[in-house]
């Protein structure tokens, strides 16, 4: 059963490209650690228009757990997180985060 870790970000005015530049760097690291990385732009969504949706996809919960362990131990990812998430002047606001599992209907 597929698993997705989905994060929704609202870029701060004038900071969208800066966030996307960081997203390219994150993609390289996260794919190396085993995630299938995607990003989407909310183009029609009322008040959510302009939000960016980042999805990390995994084959199943075991693959997600293995990825999580690798990410926690990875010095490159930890340094990226410290720089971006720890910034006193972030490029976005995290609107929401969900862990989604497929339903077999």
Domains and CATH numbers, the chain: 10-100 (3.30.70)
What per-residue confidence (pLDDT) applies to 72?
98
**Which pLDDT score, from 0 to 100, does residue 44 have?**
86
Structure tokens given for 103: 């339903």
Which stretches of the chain drop beneath a pLDDT of 70?
Answer: none
Number of residues that this document lists for the chain: 105
Look at residue 39 in the predicted model and tell me its pLDDT.
Answer: 98
C-alpha distances in Å from residue 66, one per residue of 16, 27, 58, 95, 102? 31, 17, 10, 26, 19
pTM beyond 0.75: yes
Residue 104 is predicted with a pLDDT of 86
Give pLDDT, residue 11: 97
């Amino acid at each position: 059963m597929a698993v997705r870790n989905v994060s929704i970000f609202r870029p701060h005015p004038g900071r969208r490209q800066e966030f996307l530049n960081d997203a390219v760097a994150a993609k390289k690291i996260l794919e190396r650690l085993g995630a299938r990385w995607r990003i989407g732009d909310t183009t029609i969504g009322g008040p959510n228009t302009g939000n960016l949706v980042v999805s990390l996809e995994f084959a199943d919960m075991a693959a997600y757990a293995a990825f999580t362990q690798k990410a926690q131990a990875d010095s490159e990812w930890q340094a990226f997180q410290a720089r971006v998430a720890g910034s006193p002047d972030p490029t976005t606001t995290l609107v929401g985060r969900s862990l989604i599992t497929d339903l077999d209907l």
